[in-house]
Amino acid sequence: MENIINKDIVVIGAGLTGLTTAYYLSRAGKDVMLMDKEKRCGGAIQTLNEGGFLFEAGPNTGVLSSPELVSLFDDMKGKCRAQIANPEAKKRWILKNGRWRALPSGPLSAIATPLFSWKDKFRILAEPFRKPGSDPMESVAGLVKRRMGTSYLHYAVDPFIAGIYAGDPEKLVTRYAMPKLYNLEQNYGSFIRGAIKKRKEPKSEIEQRATREVFSVEGGIDRLIEALSHSIPQEQILLNCLQSSVTPERKGFRVVIHHASGEKITIRCNHVVTTSGGFSLPFLLPFIREEEMEAIASLEYARVAQVAVGFNRWNGIKLDAFGGLVPSLEKRNILGILFPSAIFQGRAPEGGALLSVFIGGMRNPEVYAKDDETLKAIAIHEIRNTLQCTNAPDLVKIFRYPFAIPQYGADSLRRLAAIERIERDFPGLILAGNIRDGIGMADRVKQGRKIADSLI
């Protein structure tokens, strides 16, 4: 039996982007339906609590880098609260020749560090005086080598890109993958000069509160998901949508859903917002021309495995940092190790430690494909080898993400042009999610808020 529903707006995908969009639409009184194929909201975001360890199955941290994210936490006041990172754990470690070194945090430490060559240390001092680049499709690696030098690429940017994108700086295009860095050079002529001038620019009160501090959520990031989903009337959320497809009609759209209950549901609406990954859009939007859809669906995603490792008693080196990143040159089987229990309180038993080891990415896709026992052995070996912990872990959990992080490479221009044409050809259809506009939690919230405002 078919159930036919009329709505103004359908938001497909109940991850952070979709939840944010639907929340602000619902709050404004819009007739909206948020739907997802899973049994729960949140997408990759999921917090687990086991044996005294509070750990994330998906993203571990975000950055308070947008006014929209600050506003969202204001709106969720009383339901969840941001947990700011321990200031004593601000250091980022970089592995060089098997030893952890702190990533420089300023010009003086950049001169003193053994991470960079003396030639590049002088290049860094001269960075404000170099001319801006003229290639809008320049890779991150090309930009960094040109302005800062090869050792800076190898021991600062390469591991940083591994930590953010699980990607390859030679393939990521700065304009799309790191637009703030690109704009510093284009608008101010220099990273250093631009950063100084940006700090001096007047900011509104809400912009001042976007401090770029690392954050989680008290009790885990799931609390933000719960707060958002409970702030939307439950009749406006439809989960367990096993198969869905959208068809344009003479006026508006028809969304056909095959529900887990066996029911077929048809929603007629004026607007559709998709927040799904590029790989799922051919099935969701079968009416799009093949060449247009190929430009979006071909977006490459890094495959990443996260191994959460907990110790009731930690006997390794002092974990007084955010975590450690591993440059490609070190030829290790991991991308890095995050220290959640050093960053946030309440993540491990007293005297213990919680670590998150990241494996795979664009660097080591063959390692990601190995079985769970192998991944567990790799994680424990790297912890013992680099952090000198001899205790056996009390918790090991493995989470795999075959479509973890989109790679904004040279195909981005073609993809964004296709999205623009599709939205123009089918008024009322909005293609959102991480296929554009950034990959961080602040990016997702910002995009969701902007879409909701445009529809309101």
Confidence of residue 375 (pLDDT cuts 50, 70, 90): very high
**Token pair 């609390």: residue:** 223
pLDDT in tens, 381-415: 999 999 999 999 999 999 999 999 999 999 999 99
Strand extents, DSSP E, 361-411:
395-406
**Extended beta strands in 218-331, E state:** 237-238, 241-248, 253-259, 264-269, 271-274, 301-311, 323-325
Closest CA to 38 of 260, 365, 265: 260
pLDDT band at 310 (very low <50, low <70, confident <90, very high): very high
- Phi/psi region, residue 146 (left: phi>0; alpha: psi -120 to 50; beta: rest), is alpha
Q: What whole-number distance in Å separates Cα of residue 206 and Cα of residue 67?
A: 6
Q: Return the structure tokens found at 385.
A: 């080898």
Mean pLDDT confidence for 211-235: 97
Query: Mean of the pLDDT values across residues 354-376?
Result: 97
Do 314 and 384 form a contact (C-beta atoms < 8 A)? no
Question: Mean of the pLDDT values across residues 262-278?
Answer: 96
SS3 (DSSP) at 211 = coil
Residues 6+ away with beta carbon under 8 Å from 50: 395, 397
Q: What is the pLDDT of residues 81-126, one digit of tens each?
A: 999 999 988 899 999 999 999 998 877 788 889 999 999 998 888 8
Q: How far is CA 87 from the centre of its chain?
A: 22
Strand pairing category for 92-96 and 323-325? parallel
Nearest by Cα to 124 from 160, 155, 169: 155
pLDDT, averaged across the chain:
95
Closest CA to 439 of 421, 414, 412, 420: 412
pLDDT, tens digit, for every residue of 120-146?
998 888 899 999 999 999 999 999 999
Q: Is pLDDT at 2 greater than 80 in this prediction? A: no
For 47-67, what is the mean pLDDT? 96
Domains identified in the chain and CATH numbers: 2-39+68-75+221-299+408-455 (3.50.50.60), 116-208 (1.10.3110.10), 301-406 (3.90.660.20)
CB 360 within 8 A of CB 335: yes
Q: What is the pLDDT of residue 1?
A: 61
C-alpha 399/C-alpha 391 separation (Å) is 22
How many CA atoms, within 13 angstroms, populate the side-chain half-sphere of residue 97?
3
What Å distances lie between residue 87 and 61, 90, 163, 295, 322, CA to CA?
Answer: 14, 5, 20, 43, 9
Q: Is the pLDDT of residue 273 over 80?
A: yes
pTM exceeds 0.85? yes
